[in-house]
């Protein structure tokens, strides 16, 4: 279709309708006034936190404290303990002590604890959404509409499995593993907690969980919820800290199961660490997903899917669609539409209900994104961002598009974990599949075409654990999630997610 | 049968002149438009529906929405008195507050055009008339053209025609196209100017979003000044996703031809909250160029009073009630 | 003021539960409900064939919405039933004790088990497709997936015998049918209908859409044949059809059901020996499902 951008004039027959009303707000005719969620809704944030061990909030054996900051303001929210090996030891011991009774409970009783937790999360979802947004920097629209509903749903789903394990396809009366050591990332703090804790508890394990060092607050709030639900002491233990704390946990000899979500290098180190032990391991690691757009794609929805694929959660998503593979015949049309759409993204205050892209989680992550995008430019890719004002304080990064990218570029190979999209092209379905698979990662992929058989053909050839067709970044507790190749092993979610916590 | 097609305005020079040269070419073109994924479209509309419009933005949007209303009465029981009362309401929506904007138009049946025209004398409020055997459109073409010409002769500024959904659903696209072209011609006044033509699709009867995209292009190619969702007389009327899709269609049509076309969702939009969602869609899909009564209208009646109550709330800080807005 | 004036209790008028409302029987008639010792407890509506017909209409109307809601949402609703039932535990314990002639402690345990049974089925809504469906590795370039779908309207003759039949047994037949997206018309235990009629009040306050569960009291011999022969009923659970002969007997009802090839659950060989506290398994859950298999080619 011919492109024609000539200036439009009102047709001669345009009616003489009344003049537009006066008093337009600034920023286009219809600029949205600030619509901030109240930070007070997050509830009281203590000035300092210890761990949650054996049903109690306890001080660390060490004296080192870490600080968690609001990445949108750089203000310190709270101090929290840097868990020591001794702290980890206490927590594992508490979990071990609780394991006997917890695993012996009838499944129907374990189920009811998890149902209680699910319901309390639903009740307190606004509080948790605001707290998550403050601690993480992600927009309230996402914590409210995505994270929290999924967190509650995940507990609800696995609650139902607790008394149905005989029917899960793992043989009669499958047994739990024991104590699970779980280490989670900062991009979806509470959701990753749910993905770890819900199946572990449903199957009769007890857990020690270490939240990420930049986002400990919702995990500590979750500990309160465990108490409200009357969960037996020691079934859930939260030990805060940094990488050294996580390493102490995954290395602990009395841990039977290690579950880790995070970067591929750390996952690889953990895999080496547990080698030769009897520990069961599941890893959900990095990704460099291809989002493949064929020329017969539903174009407007593909644009939305691309935007959702890479700019959702500031691109801090392991399964983000960070490589756009577009068929050459629709490249121009698609990129025009994509740029136009990117121009409407609203970057800013995470607590504003109209914000689409919030703050980058940490100065460290911002530096990494900056370094990789600089490398992209240096390697000759063409960089584009829409004009948008960024706040003066806090950690921010404009939604960014690179065109002219080839598979040889670092921005096509390395996980950026930020709002940065690399655009590559292809000519045939075979080429699309070859390029999509040309990465050590294999977590997810996207396919956009109106032709059903092509979706299934392409999906069957992609080496990725999750393939979205004509949609992207969809999650559901019933649907298994996890990667091929260096994106990790094991699945979380669905019936398959039980296997990681059962002795089968 | 392409002589009428040559009259379609604005398409010249866009490469789309010959699209309606034959049934086959028109079908090829319409079926070559990108598909619409229902789930994705509806998700996008729902997400835009979560925008939070507060304080100054809300005040602006409420006044804008009032100014975009085609205040409508389309009842078998309509009388001269009813239409006059509605015109008064349109001129002074809130008698207690003269800063309240006027509505864009009064929308009536053809036989009420003269009454409305007289009642609105001295204002710039438009008189819109439905025509072409509204709402079913089941009449012979000469009857539809006479219906249209009659309304234009009585002074209608705008004509809201209905397409032949039966023809569209049975794949006779060129018949639909030619009928729009003919009705457009019937909108011509003796002085050579044209009454503004709004083309109603009755999207609730077309059912699929692919159909809505196709019919939008068909109508715009045939010379529609506005594309409109619904008559308000069937079970499913304007919805956010259908309207979003039509907004995308006018955006793409302007990019392809340079011709700007307006959009009018009609039926079922009753609350300020609804209206805000539509304005957010216009804002984020089309931007400033369409944020005016020239290019976007609401076909509504009860919506006006809800907007007025919300307007009073913003002014006074108290919630208003139906006893404090006029019923006409 | 010190004298305690004896206060007269307010007795409840028991009503049917149809289409989310509480009508009296279309017949305008009631029958006496007595306890295990024959003492009068209450009058129950005498549901008729016309009540059964109205209930089927309500159940049919509810199929589209209920089967179309997400499995997750259905699970939430069923769990809500458990929450509401928990809050009325004492009332039900009293009704069960009177209906079945068991002691207060046993009655309370039966109510607890009924609450837990709702929880059990609440957890099944979004899992049944994962154990009853799946991808089929057909020999060819095809994607082939089987998924279970609800069969539609299920007529249920509720348990009339066995330990815990009046509430636990009732829940054990209703919950699996609705968990998978069916809607039901239930003929309550004729001799012990009070827990069933009260359950209607719980369902009405539990986010269960009107018409999903419809509960009728009355003579099994009136209601059951109407359901068995009704052409707009898709399946029949004859668990409580324990009459040896006559219009309420299982064999005859199954024969009626055969006219429209309804799916049928037969009563246990010895219904009186049935212990409703036993773990339910998945039999009933899988009984009222249709398996749909979709083929789609895979190619460029």
Considering only CB atoms, A156 lies closest to which of C75, C131, C297, namely C75
- Residue A453: list chain C partners with CB under 8 A: 296-300
- In the numeric block, which tokens belong to residue C130? 């994962």
Given this model, what pLDDT does residue A184 score? 98
Residue pair B173/B166 in contact by the 8 Å Cβ criterion: no
Average pLDDT of chain B, as a whole number:
95
Q: How many CB pairs under 8 A join A and C?
A: 70
Instruction: Give how far B207 is from chain A: nearest CA, Å.
Output: 18
Where does A290-477 sit in CATH, by number? 3.40.309.10
User: In this model, does residue C265 exceed pLDDT 70?
Assistant: yes
Residue A346 burial (CB count, 10 A): 17
User: In this model, does residue C202 exceed pLDDT 90?
Assistant: yes
Between CA A391 and CA B21 the distance in angstroms is 55
Name which of A412, A426, A464, A321 is nearest C300 in CA terms. A426
Residue of chain C with shortest Cα separation from A450? C300
Q: Which residues contact B22 (CB under 8 A, 6 or more apart)?
A: B2, B174
Considering only CB atoms, A33 lies closest to which of B9, B57, B259, namely B57
- In the numeric block, which tokens belong to residue A344? 């409407």
Q: State the pTM of this model.
A: 0.95
Name which of C292, C241, C298, C300 is nearest C265 in CA terms. C241
Given this model, what pLDDT does residue A24 score? 44
User: In this model, does residue B6 exceed pLDDT 80?
Assistant: no
Given this model, what pLDDT does residue B15 score? 84
Count: domains in chain C: 1
User: In this model, does residue C36 exceed pLDDT 90?
Assistant: no
Between CA B249 and CA B324 the distance in angstroms is 40
Name which of A474, A427, A470 is nearest A297 in CA terms. A470
Q: Which residues contact A464 (CB under 8 A, 6 or more apart)?
A: A289, A436, A442, A443, A444, A445, A483, A484, A487
Kindly report each contact of residues C24-28 with a partner whose C-beta sits within 8 Å and lies 24 or more positions away, as own/partner: C25/C51, C25/C218, C26/C50, C26/C51, C26/C54, C27/C51
Q: Which residues contact A6 (CB under 8 A, 6 or more apart)?
A: B258
Q: C3 falls in which pLDDT band (50, 70, 90)?
A: low
Q: Which residues contact A222 (CB under 8 A, 6 or more apart)?
A: A190, A193, A236, A238
Given this model, what pLDDT does residue A185 score? 98
Q: B10 falls in which pLDDT band (50, 70, 90)?
A: low
Interface test with A, best of B9, B29, B33, B35 (most A CBs within 10 A): B35
Considering only CB atoms, A13 lies closest to which of B58, B64, B225, namely B225
Q: Do B37 and A5 touch (CB under 8 A)?
A: no
Name which of A335, A446, A314, A352 is nearest A401 in CA terms. A335
Between CA B34 and CA C261 the distance in angstroms is 46
Between CA A6 and CA C210 the distance in angstroms is 57
Q: Do A157 and C76 touch (CB under 8 A)?
A: no
Given this model, what pLDDT does residue A17 score? 44
Query: Domain range holding C194?
Result: 31-297
Whether C283 maps to a domain, the answer reads yes
Given this model, what pLDDT does residue A2 score? 41
Question: Range with the lowest mean pLDDT among A18-32, B207-221, B269-283, C265-279?
Answer: A18-32
- In the numeric block, which tokens belong to residue B120? 């609105």
- Residue B40: list chain A partners with CB under 8 A: 298, 300-301, 304-305, 470-471
Between CA C234 and CA A220 the distance in angstroms is 51
Average pLDDT of chain C, as a whole number:
97
Chain segment B50-78, per-residue pLDDT in tens: 999 999 999 999 999 999 999 999 999 99
Between CA B240 and CA A305 the distance in angstroms is 19
Angstrom distances, CA of residue A92 to CA of A51, A95, A120, A179: 12, 5, 26, 7
Say how far residue B207 (Cα) sits from the centre of its chain.
Answer: 18
**Strand ranges, E, within chain B:** 69-72, 105-108, 126-131, 158-162, 196-200, 226-228, 262-264, 298-300
Which chains form contacts with chain C, at 3 or more CB pairs under 8 Å? Answer: A
Name which of A206, A209, A208 is nearest A178 in CA terms. A206
Considering only CB atoms, A30 lies closest to which of B50, B196, B279, namely B279
Instruction: Give how far A456 is from chain C: nearest CA, Å.
Output: 5
SS (H, E, C) A223-256: HHHHHHCCCCCCCEEECCCCHHHHHHHHHCCCCC
SS (H, E, C) A414-430: CCCCCCEEEEEEECCHH
Q: A21 falls in which pLDDT band (50, 70, 90)?
A: very low
Instruction: List the domains of chain B with CATH numbers.
Output: 21-316 (3.20.20.70)
- Residue C295: list chain A partners with CB under 8 A: none
Which chains form contacts with chain B, at 3 or more CB pairs under 8 Å? Answer: A
Q: C281 falls in which pLDDT band (50, 70, 90)?
A: very high
Q: Do A13 and B194 touch (CB under 8 A)?
A: yes
Residue A98 burial (CB count, 10 A): 22
Between CA A445 and CA A292 the distance in angstroms is 8
Q: C2 falls in which pLDDT band (50, 70, 90)?
A: low
Q: What average pLDDT score do residues C193-201 get?
A: 98
**Strand ranges, E, within A143-216:** 179-183, 206-210
- Residue A162: list chain C partners with CB under 8 A: 123
| CATH assignment of A40-285+487-499, among 3.40.50.720, 3.40.605.10, 3.30.450.20, 3.40.50.300 | 3.40.605.10
Q: A218 falls in which pLDDT band (50, 70, 90)?
A: very high
Between CA A109 and CA C112 the distance in angstroms is 12
Chain segment A239-251, per-residue pLDDT in tens: 999 999 999 999 9
Chain segment A415-449, per-residue pLDDT in tens: 999 999 999 999 999 999 999 999 999 999 999 99
Q: Do A33 and B248 touch (CB under 8 A)?
A: no
Integer-rounded Cα radius of gyration of chain A: 24
ipTM of the complex: 0.95
Say how far residue B135 (Cα) sits from the centre of its chain.
Answer: 14
Given this model, what pLDDT does residue A155 score? 98
The stretches of B155-206 forming alpha helices (DSSP H) are 165-169, 173-186, 203-206
Q: Do B254 and A8 touch (CB under 8 A)?
A: yes
Interface test with A, best of B50, B56, B223, B282 (most A CBs within 10 A): B56
Q: Which residues contact A238 (CB under 8 A, 6 or more apart)?
A: A51, A52, A53, A208, A209, A210, A211, A219, A220, A222, A223
Between CA A252 and CA A274 the distance in angstroms is 10
* Domain regions of chain A by residue span: 40-285+487-499, 290-477
Strand partners, C265: C237
- Residue A470: list chain B partners with CB under 8 A: 37, 39-40
Strand partners, B69: B298
Q: B38 falls in which pLDDT band (50, 70, 90)?
A: very high
B18 at A interface, C-beta within 8 A: no
Angstrom distances, CA of residue B117 to CA of A341, B124, B144, B199: 42, 11, 21, 21
A427 at C interface, C-beta within 8 A: no
Given this model, what pLDDT does residue B135 score? 97
Between CA A168 and CA C127 the distance in angstroms is 9
Q: What is the CATH number of the domain that holds C92?
A: 3.40.605.10
At B145, is the secondary structure helix, strand, or coil?
helix
Say how far residue A386 (Cα) sits from the centre of its chain.
Answer: 25
At A198, is the secondary structure helix, strand, or coil?
helix
Given this model, what pLDDT does residue A19 score? 45
Pairing of strands B126-131, B105-108: parallel
Q: What average pLDDT score do residues C131-147 get?
A: 97
* CA dihedral over A249, A251, A252, A254, signed as positive or negative: positive
Between CA B155 and CA B110 the distance in angstroms is 10
Residue A246 burial (CB count, 10 A): 26
At B202, is the secondary structure helix, strand, or coil?
coil
Given this model, what pLDDT does residue C19 score? 98
Q: What average pLDDT score do residues B189-218 get?
A: 98
Chain segment A68-97, per-residue pLDDT in tens: 999 999 999 999 999 999 999 999 999 999
The DSSP secondary-structure symbol of B21 reads S
Chain segment A269-301, per-residue pLDDT in tens: 999 999 999 999 999 999 999 999 999 999 999
Given this model, what pLDDT does residue A20 score? 44
Residue entry with tokens 């970044």: A473
A265 at B interface, C-beta within 8 A: no
Considering only CB atoms, A470 lies closest to which of B40, B101, B104, namely B40
Q: A11 falls in which pLDDT band (50, 70, 90)?
A: very low
User: In this model, does residue C4 exceed pLDDT 80?
Assistant: no
Between CA A234 and CA A246 the distance in angstroms is 18
User: In this model, does residue A16 exceed pLDDT 90?
Assistant: no
User: In this model, does residue A124 exceed pLDDT 90?
Assistant: yes
Q: A351 falls in which pLDDT band (50, 70, 90)?
A: very high
């Amino acid at each position: 279709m011919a492109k024609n951008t000539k200036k439009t004039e009102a047709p001669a027959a345009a009616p003489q309708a009344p003049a537009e009303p006066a008093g337009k707000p600034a920023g286009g005719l219809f600029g949205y006034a600030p619509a901030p969620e109240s930070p007070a809704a997050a509830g009281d944030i203590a000035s300092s936190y210890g761990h949650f061990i054996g049903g109690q909030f306890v001080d660390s054996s060490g004296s080192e404290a870490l600080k968690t900051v609001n990445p949108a303001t750089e203000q310190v929210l709270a101090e929290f303990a840097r868990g020591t090996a001794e702290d980890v030891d206490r927590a594992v011991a508490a979990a071990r002590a609780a394991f006997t009774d917890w695993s012996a409970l009838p499944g129907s009783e374990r189920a009811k604890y998890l149902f209680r937790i699910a319901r309390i999360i639903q009740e307190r979802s606004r509080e948790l959404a605001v707290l998550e947004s403050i601690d993480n920097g992600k927009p309230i629209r996402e914590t409210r509409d995505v994270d929290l509903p999924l967190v509650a749903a995940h507990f609800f789903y696995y609650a139902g499995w607790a008394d149905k394990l005989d029917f899960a396809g793992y043989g009669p009366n499958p047994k739990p593993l024991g104590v699970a050591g779980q280490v989670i990332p900062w991009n979806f703090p509470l959701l990753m907690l749910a993905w770890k804790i819900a199946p572990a508890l449903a199957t009769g394990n007890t857990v020690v969980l270490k939240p990420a060092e930049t986002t400990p607050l919702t995990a500590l709030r979750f500990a309160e919820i465990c108490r409200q639900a009357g969960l037996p002491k020691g079934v859930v233990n939260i030990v805060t800290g940094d990488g050294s704390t996580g390493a102490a946990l995954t290395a602990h000899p009395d841990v039977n199961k290690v579950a880790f979500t995070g970067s591929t290098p750390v996952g690889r180190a953990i895999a080496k660490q547990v080698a030769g032990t009897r520990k069961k391991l599941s890893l959900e690691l990095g990704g460099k997903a291809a989002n493949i757009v064929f020329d017969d794609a539903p174009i407007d929805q593909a644009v939305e899917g691309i935007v959702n694929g890479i700019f959702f959660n500031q691109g801090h998503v392991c399964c983000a669609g960070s490589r756009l593979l577009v068929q050459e015949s629709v490249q121009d049309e698609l990129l025009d539409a994509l740029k136009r759409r990117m121009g409407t993204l609203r970057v800013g205050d995470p607590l504003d209900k109209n914000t689409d892209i919030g703050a980058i989680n940490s100065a460290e992550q911002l530096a990494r994104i900056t370094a990789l995008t600089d490398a992209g430019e240096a390697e000759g890719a063409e960089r584009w961002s829409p004009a948008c004002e960024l706040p003066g304080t806090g950690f921010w990064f404009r939604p960014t598009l690179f065109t002219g990218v080839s598979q040889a570029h670092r921005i096509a190979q390395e996980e950026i974990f930020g709002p940065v999209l690399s655009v590559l092209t292809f000519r045939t379905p075979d080429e699309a599949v070859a390029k999509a698979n040309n990465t050590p990662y294999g977590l997810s992929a996207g396919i956009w075409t109106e032709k059903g058989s092509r979706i299934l053909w392409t999906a069957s050839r992609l080496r990725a654990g999750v393939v979205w067709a004509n949609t992207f970044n969809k999650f559901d507790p019933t649907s298994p999630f996890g990667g091929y190749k260096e994106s990790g092993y094991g699945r979380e979610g669905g019936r398959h997610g039980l296997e990681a916590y059962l002795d089968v | 049968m392409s002589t009428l097609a040559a009259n379609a305005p604005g398409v010249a020079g866009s490469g789309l002149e010959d699209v309606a040269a034959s049934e086959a070419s028109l079908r090829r073109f319409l079926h070559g438009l990108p598909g619409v994924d229902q789930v994705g479209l509806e998700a996008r509309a729902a997400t835009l529906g979560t925008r939070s419009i507060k304080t100054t933005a809300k005040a602006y949007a409420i006044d804008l929405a009032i100014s975009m209303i085609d205040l409508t009465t389309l009842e078998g029981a309509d009388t001269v008195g009813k239409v006059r009362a509605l015109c008064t309401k349109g001129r002074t929506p809130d008698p207690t507050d003269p800063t309240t904007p006027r509505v864009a138009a009064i929308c009536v049946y053809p036989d009420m055009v003269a009454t409305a025209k007289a009642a609105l004398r001295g204002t710039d409020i438009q008189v819109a008339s439905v025509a072409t055997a509204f709402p079913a459109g089941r009449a012979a073409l000469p009857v539809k053209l006479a219906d249209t010409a009659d309304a234009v002769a009585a002074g209608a500024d705008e004509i809201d025609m209905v397409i032949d959904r039966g023809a569209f659903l049975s794949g006779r696209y060129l018949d639909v196209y030619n009928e729009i072209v003919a009705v457009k011609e019937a909108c011509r006044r003796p002085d050579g100017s044209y009454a503004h033509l709004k083309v109603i699709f009755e999207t609730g009867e077309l059912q699929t979003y692919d159909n809505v995209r196709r019919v939008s292009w068909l109508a715009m190619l045939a010379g529609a000044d506005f594309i409109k969702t619904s008559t308000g007389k069937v079970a499913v009327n304007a919805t956010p996703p259908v309207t979003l899709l039509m907004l995308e269609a006018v955006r793409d049509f302007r990019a392809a031809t340079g011709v700007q076309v307006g959009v009018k969702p009609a039926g079922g939009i009753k609350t300020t909250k609804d209206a805000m969602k539509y304005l957010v869609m216009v804002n984020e899909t089309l931007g400033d160029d369409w944020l005016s009564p020239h290019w976007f209208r609401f076909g509504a009646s009860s919506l006006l009073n809800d907007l007025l109550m919300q307007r009073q709330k913003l002014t006074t800080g108290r919630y208003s009630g139906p006893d404090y807005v006029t019923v006409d | 003021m010190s004298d305690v004036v004896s206060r007269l209790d307010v007795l409840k008028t028991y009503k049917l539960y149809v289409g989310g409302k509480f009508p009296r029987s279309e017949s305008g008639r009631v029958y006496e409900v007595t306890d295990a010792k024959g003492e009068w407890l209450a009058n129950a509506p005498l549901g008729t064939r016309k009540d059964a017909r109205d209930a089927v209409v309500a159940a049919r109307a509810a199929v589209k919405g209920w089967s179309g809601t997400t499995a997750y949402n259905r699970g939430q609703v069923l769990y809500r039933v458990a929450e509401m039932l928990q809050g009325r535990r004492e009332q039900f314990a009293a009704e069960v004790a009177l209906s079945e002639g068991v002691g207060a402690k046993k009655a309370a345990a039966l109510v607890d088990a009924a609450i837990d049974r709702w929880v059990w089925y609440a957890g099944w809504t979004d899992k049944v497709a994962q154990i009853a469906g799946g991808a089929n590795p057909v020999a060819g370039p095809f994607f082939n997936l089987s998924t279970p779908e609800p069969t539609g309207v299920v007529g249920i003759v509720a348990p009339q015998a066995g330990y815990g039949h009046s509430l636990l047994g009732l829940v054990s037949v209703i919950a699996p049918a609705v968990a998978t997206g069916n809607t039901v018309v239930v003929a309550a235990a004729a001799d012990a209908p009070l827990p069933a009629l009260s359950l209607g009040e719980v369902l009405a306050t539990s986010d269960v859409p009107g018409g999903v569960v419809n509960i009728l009291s009355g003579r099994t011999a009136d209601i059951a044949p109407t359901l068995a022969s009704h052409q707009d009923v898709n399946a029949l659970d004859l668990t409580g059809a324990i009459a040896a002969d006559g219009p309420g007997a299982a064999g005859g009802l199954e024969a009626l059901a055969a006219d429209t090839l309804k799916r049928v659950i037969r009563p246990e060989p010895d219904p009186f020996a049935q212990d409703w506290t036993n773990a339910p398994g998945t039999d009933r859950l899988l009984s009222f499902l249709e398996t749909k298999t979709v083929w789609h080619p895979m190619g460029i």
